[in-house]
Amino acid sequence: MSLISRYILREVSMSAGFVFVGLILLFSFFDLAGELDSIGRADYGFAQAALYVALNVPGHVYEIVPIAALIGALFALSRLVMNSEFAVMLASGISSWRIALLLTVAGIGFALVALAVGELVSPWSEQAAKKLKLRATESVVAQAFRSGLWVKDGNAFINAREVLPDASLHDLKVYEFDQDWELVRIMTAEKGAWEGNGRWKLAKVSDTGFSEAGIKLSHEKSLDWVSVLSPDILSVLLVAPEKMSTPALVGYIRHLRENKQQTTRYEVALWSKMFYPLAIPVIMLLALPFAFHSPRSGGIALKIFLGILAGLAFHLGNRLFSHVGLLNDWPPFITAATPSLLFLALVLAVLKRLERR
């Protein structure tokens, strides 16, 4: 790699790093301010709020990297323009395509960082943050309906009045049906604790069976229960699909398909994670057209501002397109890929025009 290439990569990386740290501190401050209303509830104090905010930082890292990379590239290229270094590079034979390639290399590096955080750290930290706050405020994980949480498991429907942060189920009811969808069993339990390997330990169980011979009722102090329901599936209640890890998304989509339930939202989230590495280099390339101006012409601050607006438009447009795709039931692949491909085509067209000039 040439000296000029290393210089450009270093300037872009350093600028993006400063912007990234500033945005993380800003988002953390807003998060902490948002938690002030919850401080004082049960055992939730300032220390717990600060830890909750800290555990949410990896989630912000995953979201902020594209914007920080774009703003960093804009500042770095603008500084090169102000110092006339950019004009010297172009005059010495360095094409705009080569600079675009260097920005793409930097974008791939940022994308790898975002993927590592998004796959390995963010899902765990998001769950830990939610569990911390739920325990401290003595809340429950979910009550999707007035009757509690409902999950389909084959020919059985599972209802849990409360799901606590330790993944225990309270006031559990299981309704089992045969192949003709006739009720054959109702089982109730005061509490269910996860044992591992697909097994739950139920406490204070009442089991009612229905057959042609009549109704059979039994009571047990404890009972082992095997179900597809697991803490991994319950973790979906704590983490938004967009922040789940790829293995967790794949597993939950498989569970929904096996139970013939709608999977579109989770498939869109999965494909979006697949195209995320493409989005960061593309959004960094948006900075390059704003570098082609004379330092004497002025208006650099305005062009940086317009570049930031273009990046925000890409980020918000990506989310908007996902919601529109969900509403119209578009194919998940098309919904996730279209924004990145459209912006990539736009950037390539602009670069081609600049090269002709």
Q: Is a pLDDT exceeding 80 seen at residue 341?
A: yes
Q: Give which of 73, 82, 62, 60 is closest to 13, Cα–Cα.
A: 73
In terms of domains, do 16 and 123 share one? yes
DSSP annotation of 224: E
- Phi then psi dihedrals of residue 157, to 5 deg: -120, 125
Q: 238 falls in which pLDDT band (50, 70, 90)?
A: low
Expressed as residue numbers, the domain containing 203 is 149-228
In terms of domains, do 270 and 302 share one? yes
The SS3 call for residue 154 is coil
Higher pLDDT, 329 or 18: 18
Q: What is the pLDDT of residue 187?
A: 92
Q: What is the pLDDT of residue 298?
A: 54
Instruction: State the chain's mean pLDDT as an integer.
Output: 81
Higher pLDDT, 53 or 314: 53
Q: Is a pLDDT exceeding 60 seen at residue 232?
A: yes
User: Does 116 map to a domain?
Assistant: yes
In terms of domains, do 32 and 124 share one? yes
In terms of domains, do 24 and 116 share one? yes
In terms of domains, do 129 and 160 share one? no
- The domain boundary residue, chosen from 180, 212, 228: 228
Say which residue the tokens 């447009």 belong to.
317
Determine the average pLDDT of the residues in 39-46. 82
Determine the average pLDDT of the residues in 44-62. 89
DSSP annotation of 117: I
In terms of domains, do 170 and 277 share one? no
User: Does 237 map to a domain?
Assistant: no
Cα–Cα distance, 52 to 323 (Å, whole number): 28
Q: 279 falls in which pLDDT band (50, 70, 90)?
A: confident
Cα–Cα distance, 260 to 243 (Å, whole number): 24
Higher pLDDT, 21 or 296: 21
Distances (CA, A) of 140 to 160, 166, 260: 11, 10, 28
DSSP annotation of 112: H
In terms of domains, do 214 and 303 share one? no
Q: What is the pLDDT of residue 300?
A: 65
Q: pLDDT tens digits for 138-148?
A: 555 554 556 67
What total of structural domains would you count in the chain?
A: 2
Determine the average pLDDT of the residues in 66-79. 86
Q: Is residue 15 classed exposed, middle or buried when 0-12, 13-18 and 19+ CB atoms within 10 A define those classes?
A: buried
- The domain boundary residue, chosen from 211, 228, 245: 228
Q: 57 falls in which pLDDT band (50, 70, 90)?
A: very high
- The domain boundary residue, chosen from 228, 248, 272: 228
Q: Is a pLDDT exceeding 60 seen at residue 99?
A: yes
In terms of domains, do 169 and 208 share one? yes
Cα–Cα distance, 312 to 66 (Å, whole number): 10
- Residues of the chain with pLDDT > 90, as a percent, come to 10
Say which residue the tokens 């270093």 belong to.
10
Q: pLDDT tens digits for 108-127?
A: 999 898 888 888 888 888 87
In terms of domains, do 301 and 340 share one? yes
What number of CA atoms fall less than 13 Å from residue 287's CA on the CB side? 33
In terms of domains, do 335 and 219 share one? no
Q: 203 falls in which pLDDT band (50, 70, 90)?
A: very high
Tokens of 311: 């990046």
Q: 199-204 — which CB contacts under 8 Å span 24+ positions?
A: 199/224, 199/225, 199/226, 200/169, 200/224, 200/225, 200/226, 200/227, 200/229, 201/225, 202/172
Determine the average pLDDT of the residues in 3-17. 87
Say which residue the tokens 């890292």 belong to.
61
In terms of domains, do 217 and 324 share one? no
Q: Hey, which of 2-11, 13-22, 222-231 has the most confident mean pLDDT?
A: 13-22
Q: What is the pLDDT of residue 292?
A: 65
Q: pLDDT tens digits for 146-173?
A: 667 787 777 888 888 877 656 678 889 9
